[in-house]
Amino acid sequence: MPRYRITVEYDGSNFVGWQRQSNGMSVQEALEIALQRLTGENPRVQGAGRTDAGVHAAGQVAHFDLEQSFPLKNLRDGSNFHLRPHLVTVIDVSEVGSSFDARFSAIRRRYRYRILNRRSPPALARGQVWFFAKPLDETKMQAAADLLVGKNDFTSFRAVQCQAKSPVKTLEKLKVSRQGDEVLIDVEARSFLHNQVRITAGTLVLVGEGAWAPDDVGIALKAKNRAAAGPTAPPEGLCLMEVNYP
User: Strands 108-116 and 130-131, how do they pair?
Assistant: parallel
Q: CA–CA distance from 191 to each of 109, 127, 182, 209, 245 (Å)?
A: 6, 25, 26, 28, 12
- Among left, alpha and beta (phi > 0; psi -120 to 50; other), residue 228 is alpha
Do 157 and 169 form a contact (C-beta atoms < 8 A)? no
186 forms beta bridges with 112, 175
Can 52 be counted among the known catalytic residues? Answer: yes
Side-chain-side CA neighbours of 108 within 13 Å: the count stands at 12
Q: Where are the alpha helices (DSSP H) in the chain?
A: 27-39, 72-83, 138-145, 196-208, 214-223
At 197, which amino acid appears?
Answer: V
User: Strands 56-65 and 3-10, how do they pair?
Assistant: antiparallel
Which of these is catalytic: 11, 52, 146, 181?
A: 52
Beta strands in the chain (DSSP E): 3-10, 46-47, 56-65, 88-96, 108-116, 130-131, 150-153, 168-179, 182-189, 238-244
* Catalytic residue positions, numbered: 52
